[in-house]
Amino acid sequence: MVFGLMYALALAQAPAGDPIDFDRDVLPILSDHCVQCHGPDAAARKADLRLDVRDDVLFVAEPGAAADSALYQRISHADPARRMPPADFPRQLTPAKIEALRRWIDEGVAWESHWAFTAPTRAAAPVREDDTWSRDALDVLVLGRLAEEGLAPSPPADRATWLRRVTFDLTGLPPDVAALDAYLADDSAEADARVVDRLLASPRRAEHRTREWLDLARYADTNGFQNDFGRDQWPWRDWVLRAFASNLPYDEFIVQQVAGDLLPGAARDALIATGFNRNHRSVTEGGSIDEEWRVEKVADRAETTATAFLGLTLGCARCHDHKFDPLTQRDYYAFYAFFDQVDEQGFYNEARGNVPPLIEVPTPAQEARLAALDASIAAREDELVALAATAPQRFGDWCGESQHPQRLAGEWGRLLLEYAGERREGAPRIELDGDAAHHVNLGQGVSFEQDVPFTVSMWLRPDSNGAVYSRMDDTDRYRGTDLILLGDMRPAVHLIHEWTANAIKVVGVDPLDKGRWQHVAVTYDGSRKASGVKLYVDCVERAVKVEVDTLDGTLATEEPLRIGLRRYAGALAGALHDFRVDALALDVDELLNLARRRPRAEAAALCLTRYFAGSENPEPAELERLAAGALPFFTPFDQATLDARSALADLRRERERLAREGIATVMVMRDRAEPRETRLLDRGQYDRPKGEPLQPDVPAALGGLTADAPRNRLGLARWLVDPANPLVARVAANRVWASFFGAGLVTTPEDFGVRGARPTHRAVLDHLAVSLVDSGWDLQALERRIALSATYRQSSHAAPALRERDPENHLLARGPRHRLDAETVRDQALFAAGLLVERIGGPSVKPYQPAGLWEELAGGAGQGPYVQSAGDDLYRRSLYTYRKRTVPHPTLTTFDAPGFELCVARRARTNTPLQALALWNDPTYAEAARHLAARMWAAPRSAGAGEGVDADDTRLAFGARVVLSRELRAEELRVLRASLDAYRASFGADPAAAAAHLGIGASAGQAAPDGATPTEWAAYSAVAATLLNLDEALTER
């Protein structure tokens, strides 16, 4: 009966005699049974009839005359073929629901909008004269509802129970013994408020609230999907910590996360906040289709924003109009359009770590060092500009010093490398057989730089696709340069700092010919632009397609220059000769010379005469003209330029090293310069856009954006926090409520729509929502009043009759009771043990985890094995436990933590045997029990006992105070003493077992507590474990 009754409370029909309430009694029936075919989804609509719009309803429902109304006739029709819903519809009407609809029609077809889509108002709450119970306006409302139900509130919980409850709910940790003693000793009227204020100000509260927010923000430390490489979003998580610690007003909390980058003069913190919308998963699996996965990211952002702030199931309108709520597919894509503008790719091929857009998040010391480096770099760059301006002068001098063009000719071209291969029997060529083991390694002698011109040229006869040459580190974001032949033999040139965020890629339009000798050259002018890369085949410049043009960073790598191979591009089969690298961007004439293999001196002479023809003693103006043309040839000889470049390169390298090794980045939102057109996607499919481009907008049923609002995320953010928004404050207040009561007033926090649960106490929810806005969105103020309310203070004990009547505590006739969350279960154990290391923020950590879990599934892909943290990081709060999406930490999952894949507004609370196994045998808990035992052993005699109380009693009592925040009852003490004696006997007879039990965890070497034998300590550890496994210890009550 219990569940039927509970359901009756939720869905229930009005008792006979009470008037029908449309929102409570009728709308859920229409939603569940009718509007799937007679509702907002135009495509699915039957008979052109809507039962979600009153005007339509009046066609089929005559107020006051159910018997004459088509609606009633059809739902009660004797002929199954005529009856609605149709027989094959899975949700048939019950007689009770048919009766409710009949009464609704007979009582006049009352109609109102869905409760959550109209703005909340603060209900007047008449205080009853005899109300000595209420402490807050919300209590008055709760009490009023209880009186209607003929119920009275439960008596207050005892003080220690309240303290434990409020400490868990505000901080995610239990009270320590000192806090318990201080509170119990404080009998002033302000004692409770003092506790709450102390807890609100504690950094532990910020950690606990952050942990809750991460579920909605689907925060994780890896990308998810196939490769599941690591990422660094923890700077965003630390922003959330700061936001909660500083009690950032909730409207600011929203605006910064949704649109911090679009705020005028956005500070770095506001940019970091936008990482909220980059916490989604991202695909790096080779072979993926870019647009398909870009669309998924945009959809995730739109749906997460709708769920987290609006409590809307917007995702239901992705493929078709929403079946139940007034959200059309067009609304979906207009909302989606806000998030469609990000300057990003859909997938980053095998990319590790953060992908753009991102920003650096240096520490203050790093920031100072960076500023100094940036200043030096700027100075060197200025110097280079100045040197360029004076280059003609030095060129003139240089020409003057050069007596003989022939001597110059020996130097020109700055030949860096010439490699013909092994000269076998008259064949000066390099033969490549396509086997990676047989490529040619030319070492590290020649380096390539982003701002230094070069030419690589050769005669080439390709027999397959693969790499022609490379100096690239495929495992370091492909840093370096190469020339490869794609599968279809088109040549592609990369210059990469970080693929693809910072790189050049150009691809020849025409393929090379297999099996034919061709002269191939790549020239680069050092401009960092794709336009500076030219591709010549047979000394004719070839058309190229620019695919990436974002280079701004060094190409330097430790990988050698290789002919015929690049690690992930495959080996080339074929032959080549006259492979050479020049420190110039050669032009066609010079390339022709190379191709024709003219003697170098001859070529040089040809070149120089082009610039000095007939100018033995040129006039200054003539010299200037010539110099302008010849400067590119001069630069490699100009010592001053070379020196400045080398100094600049050193500085850049240092900055690079600092950034790579030390400075964290975080992925953030940044929109493209060129707006992207968003269209509705037919059936939600990425490759089926249709219709006109859509302006970003909010759902029409919620009013749409005002005409003057910016059509971007900032406009969206401002709309969200507009006090007129009916949903945002309610959703927030509901979530805060759930932090205390274990469930929201709306028990479906993810769905405030028509099919979501109705609020158990709409007046309370609306009152809190309105006051949240009125308080300047002060979350702490809201938490404070709930924590100090009489409703929250009630005992959670439910007499059988009350439990039978209201198993889910929807009426709030008692206090909250539920199992602790996954993180809290572990944190409590560490805290009770005195092991918890309370360091705030920073990269995530890796506590104990059974060996092999990552390797078994990922086969070393991603990040290889799980490398357990050492020292303090084993004992940090579970908020900081590394979140690998494809293999979440097993004990967190076992205790119902979400998988961090998608926005989750509510966790399940299950009770399974795997939880028991984890609590018994995860070293976390065995180690914690040993430390708790040591604390118990050292318990001060005074703890709750006078002279003559024996040591065991004192120690057991202390353990109970640590774990349960209360004194033991005599009967409990007897059980624990008997248990202790049994363990003493058992471990005493088996010293090896005692030693083994004391050897668990990284802290196994800890000194034994004073005077404790191994048997004693092991016995106490076993009893401590029992305390930690008590249902009471795992339950907030």
Partner 1 sequence: MSGTHDQSTLNGGAWDPLAAAQRFNRRAVLRGGGVGLGALALGALQRDARAGAPQAPGAQQLADAALGPHFAPKAKRVVYLFQSGAPSQFETWDPKPGLVDHFGVELPASVRMGQRLTTMTSGQTSFPVAPSKFGATARGANGTLVGDLLPYTGALVDRMCVVRSMVTDAINHDPAITFAQTGSQLAGRPSMGAWLSYGLGSMNRDLPTFVVMVSSSSSKQPLYDRLWGSGFLPTQHQGVKLRSAADPVLYLADAPGIDRGRRRQMLDDLARLNALQPDADPETTTRIEQYELAFRMQAAVPELTDVSGEPAHVLERYGADVQRPGSFARNCLLARRLLERDVRFVQLYHMGWDHHGNLPNDLTKCALDTDQAAAALVQDLEERGLLEDTIVVWGGEFGRTVYSQGQLTQETYGRDHHPRCYSIWLAGGGLKAGLVHGETDDFSYNVVRDPVSTHDLHATLLHLSGFGHQRLTNRFQGRDFRLTDVHGEVVRALLS
In terms of DSSP bridges, do strands 358-361 and 533-537 run parallel, antiparallel, or are they unpaired?
A: unpaired
Name the one range near partner 1 by CB under 8 A: 634-642, 777-785, 933-941, 979-987: 979-987
User: What is the nearest approach in angstroms of partner 1 to the Cβ of residue 286?
Assistant: 6
| Interface residue with partner 1, options 513, 921, 938, 1006 (CB under 8 A) | 921
Q: Does 283 bind partner 1 (CB under 8 A)?
A: yes
Nearer to partner 1, 167 or 894 (CB): 894
| Interface residue with partner 1, options 243, 495, 736, 926 (CB under 8 A) | 926
User: Are 237 and 883 spatial neighbours (Cβ–Cβ below 8 Å)?
Assistant: no
Q: Does 998 bind partner 1 (CB under 8 A)?
A: yes
User: What is the nearest approach in angstroms of partner 1 to the Cβ of residue 741?
Assistant: 12
User: What is the nearest approach in angstroms of partner 1 to the Cβ of residue 859?
Assistant: 4
| Interface residue with partner 1, options 228, 671, 766, 1016 (CB under 8 A) | 228
User: What is the nearest approach in angstroms of partner 1 to the Cβ of residue 1031?
Assistant: 4
Nearer to partner 1, 16 or 908 (CB): 908
Q: Does 997 bind partner 1 (CB under 8 A)?
A: yes
Write the interaction track for partner 1 spanning residues 121-160; mark x where CB under 8 A is met and - where it is not: ----------------------------------------
Residues in Cβ contact with 1004 at an 8 Å cutoff, skipping those fewer than 6 apart: 927, 998
Nearer to partner 1, 511 or 532 (CB): 511
User: What is the nearest approach in angstroms of partner 1 to the Cβ of residue 6?
Assistant: 7
Residues 77-96 that bind partner 1 (CB under 8 A): 90-92, 94-96
| Interface residue with partner 1, options 873, 922, 952, 1016 (CB under 8 A) | 922
Q: Which residues sit opposite 520 in a β-bridge? A: 458, 537
User: What is the nearest approach in angstroms of partner 1 to the Cβ of residue 757?
Assistant: 9
Separation of alpha carbons 575 and 448, rounded Å: 24
Separation of alpha carbons 242 and 275, rounded Å: 14
Name the one range near partner 1 by CB under 8 A: 362-370, 603-611, 867-875, 914-922: 914-922
Write the interaction track for partner 1 spanning residues 322-361; mark x where CB under 8 A is met and - where it is not: -xxx------------------------------------
Residues 168-227 that bind partner 1 (CB under 8 A): 224-227
User: Are 755 and 133 spatial neighbours (Cβ–Cβ below 8 Å)?
Assistant: no
Please tell me what DSSP assigns to residue 725.
-
In terms of DSSP bridges, do strands 678-681 and 689-694 run parallel, antiparallel, or are they unpaired?
A: antiparallel
Write the interaction track for partner 1 spanning residues 515-554; mark x where CB under 8 A is met and - where it is not: ----------------------------------------
Name the one range near partner 1 by CB under 8 A: 139-147, 321-329, 548-556, 871-879: 321-329
User: Are 971 and 1018 spatial neighbours (Cβ–Cβ below 8 Å)?
Assistant: no
User: Are 673 and 550 spatial neighbours (Cβ–Cβ below 8 Å)?
Assistant: no
**By CB under 8 A, how many residues form the interface with partner 1?**
128
| Interface residue with partner 1, options 546, 914, 938, 1008 (CB under 8 A) | 914
User: What is the nearest approach in angstroms of partner 1 to the Cβ of residue 963?
Assistant: 12
| Interface residue with partner 1, options 146, 605, 861, 949 (CB under 8 A) | 861
Name the one range near partner 1 by CB under 8 A: 449-457, 630-638, 742-750, 940-948: 742-750
| Residue 567, both tokens | 């690690």
Write the interaction track for partner 1 spanning residues 790-809; mark x where CB under 8 A is met and - where it is not: -----xxxx----x---xx-
Separation of alpha carbons 850 and 853, rounded Å: 7
Q: Does 625 bind partner 1 (CB under 8 A)?
A: no
Residues in Cβ contact with 527 at an 8 Å cutoff, skipping those fewer than 6 apart: 451
Separation of alpha carbons 1028 and 827, rounded Å: 12
| Interface residue with partner 1, options 406, 475, 695, 1035 (CB under 8 A) | 1035
User: What is the nearest approach in angstroms of partner 1 to the Cβ of residue 1008?
Assistant: 15
Separation of alpha carbons 462 and 465, rounded Å: 7
Nearer to partner 1, 344 or 750 (CB): 750
User: Taking the CA atoms of the chain, what radius of gyration do you get in angstroms?
Assistant: 37
Q: Does 981 bind partner 1 (CB under 8 A)?
A: no
| Interface residue with partner 1, options 993, 1002, 1003, 1009 (CB under 8 A) | 993
| Interface residue with partner 1, options 230, 353, 899, 944 (CB under 8 A) | 899
Nearer to partner 1, 131 or 350 (CB): 350
Q: Which residues sit opposite 495 in a β-bridge? A: 481, 504
Which 3 state secondary structure label does DSSP give 536?
Answer: strand
Nearer to partner 1, 427 or 995 (CB): 995
Q: Please report, to the nearest 10 degrees, the dihedral formed by the alpha carbons of residues 846, 851, 853, 859 taken in order.
A: 110
Q: Please report, to the nearest 10 degrees, the dihedral formed by the alpha carbons of residues 1018, 1022, 1025, 1029 taken in order.
A: 170
Nearer to partner 1, 697 or 927 (CB): 927
DSSP string, 143-196: HHHHHHTT--PPPBPPHHHHHHHHHHHHHSSPPPHHHHHHHHH--STTHHHHHH
User: What is the nearest approach in angstroms of partner 1 to the Cβ of residue 422?
Assistant: 26
| Interface residue with partner 1, options 196, 987, 1015, 1016 (CB under 8 A) | 987
Residues 286-315 that bind partner 1 (CB under 8 A): 286-290, 296, 307, 313, 315
| Interface residue with partner 1, options 505, 755, 762, 935 (CB under 8 A) | 755
User: What is the nearest approach in angstroms of partner 1 to the Cβ of residue 727?
Assistant: 14
Residue carrying the six token digits 């859920």: 28
User: What is the nearest approach in angstroms of partner 1 to the Cβ of residue 157?
Assistant: 10
Nearer to partner 1, 350 or 360 (CB): 350
Residues 628-687 that bind partner 1 (CB under 8 A): none
| Interface residue with partner 1, options 285, 291, 510, 677 (CB under 8 A) | 285
3-class SS letters over 251-291? HHHHHHHHHHHHCCCCCHHHHHHHHHHHCCCCECCCCCCHH
Residues 817-846 that bind partner 1 (CB under 8 A): 817-819
Q: At what angle do helices 1014-1029 and 913-921 cross, to 10 degrees?
A: 150
Element at 600 (helix H, strand E): helix 600-612
Q: At what angle do helices 600-612 and 620-634 cross, to 10 degrees?
A: 150
DSSP string, 757-774: PPPTTHHHHHHHHHHHHH
At 641, give phi and psi (nearest 5°): -65, -45
Q: Does 414 bind partner 1 (CB under 8 A)?
A: no
| Residue 504, both tokens | 């050049």
Using left for φ > 0, alpha for ψ between -120 and 50, and beta otherwise, residue 262 falls in alpha
Name the one range near partner 1 by CB under 8 A: 266-274, 418-426, 707-715, 891-899: 891-899
Q: How many separate helices (H) and strands (E) can be counted in the chain?
A: 36, 24
Residues in Cβ contact with 82 at an 8 Å cutoff, skipping those fewer than 6 apart: 74
Among candidate residues 757, 633, 624, 900, the one with its CA nearest the CA of residue 12: 757
Residues 354-413 that bind partner 1 (CB under 8 A): none
Name the one range near partner 1 by CB under 8 A: 199-207, 271-279, 446-454, 975-983: 975-983
User: Are 61 and 68 spatial neighbours (Cβ–Cβ below 8 Å)?
Assistant: no
Q: Which residues of 765-791 are buried (b: 16+ CB within 10 A; e: fewer)?
A: bbbbbbbbbeeebbbbbbbbbbbbbbb
Residues 428-467 that bind partner 1 (CB under 8 A): 464
Residues 18-77 that bind partner 1 (CB under 8 A): none
Among candidate residues 1002, 920, 933, 998, the one with its CA nearest the CA of residue 962: 933
| Interface residue with partner 1, options 150, 364, 443, 913 (CB under 8 A) | 913
